[in-house]
Amino acid sequence: MKKLVFILSLTNLVIACTDTGDNSSNTKPIPLPDSVLQERWKAIHVLKDSIREGDLVLRCGNDYVSESLSDFSQQEKLYSHSGMAIMDDGIMYVYSNMAGDINPDEIMRRDIIDSFITPANNVAIGIYRYDITTSEREKLKRIIHDHYLNKLQFDMNFDLSTNDKMYCAEMIAKAVEEATLKRIVFSKSLINNALKEKYLKKLLQKRIIPSANVADKREYLAIDNLYFNPHCREVKKIIFGKPQTPVKFPTPENYKN
């Protein structure tokens, strides 16, 4: 069993933010034919025209890691990564916090919008908009820029009580709350039985939680907490398909508190 768990383990399986550069043959998605990719880019270009500064930009990668990360959303398991659209020098970027092989320094990054939502690597893209004022949007931009300039670290402990390190959904939620003086606040999620059956062993191994009992009370911000909010509306989304089916973890057993 231990050997099986080791083989099936997902590197940096964490709540909705970790990326991967895994190139092994059993996890690497099959490249899209050029004709399909061109058609998807046409749809992406239409979606891009709808993006405004301050929009929430969501995506789901075409791999089983992304599918597993989307599992941590409990209302809609659609997206695996989140970022905020900010315009700089006439160029639209997406600012986000992630870890993994694609971002080994684990500091806040920005990507041009085409890179963040490319259909070559993503099967779902969504744009969502908060009902923020112009002044709130400017404050939100300053907050995110400060995080970027200060090289905000990715929080591998997923501790919502600290602000010196943050994971992706946490960074966005806290930035919006600060910019709006908590006129907009976000609900949180708790690890449920379905998540514990799949991922508790990995969460314990990664020391994201110290014991099985903690999982019953551990609050976290999932991606769907960001957009299932009364102050947020969907602008546009595109779903090309589903990512590769995630590996099913063995049911956890014999956990010590």
Domain positions in the chain are 35-186+221-239
pTM of the model: 0.82
More confident residue, 214 or 94: 94
Other CB atoms within 10 Å distance of the CB of residue 228 = 16
Output phi, psi for 69, to 5 deg.
-65, -40
> What are the pLDDT digits (tens) for 46-77?
999 999 999 999 999 988 778 888 888 999 99
Q: Which of 7-16, 93-102, 161-170, 173-182 has the lowest mean pLDDT?
A: 7-16
Average pLDDT of span 88-108: 83
Report the chain's mean pLDDT, rounded to a whole number.
82
> What are the pLDDT digits (tens) for 186-241?
999 988 887 877 777 776 776 666 777 766 677 899 999 999 999 999 999 999 98
Q: What does the pLDDT read at residue 62?
A: 87
Q: Which residue has the tokens 């383990």?
A: 9
Residue 83 banded pLDDT, cuts 50, 70, 90: very high
Euclidean distance between CA atoms 181 and 234, whole angstroms? 23
Domain covering 35-186+221-239 in this structure, CATH number: 3.90.1720.10
Helix (H, G, I), strand (E, B) or coil at 39: helix
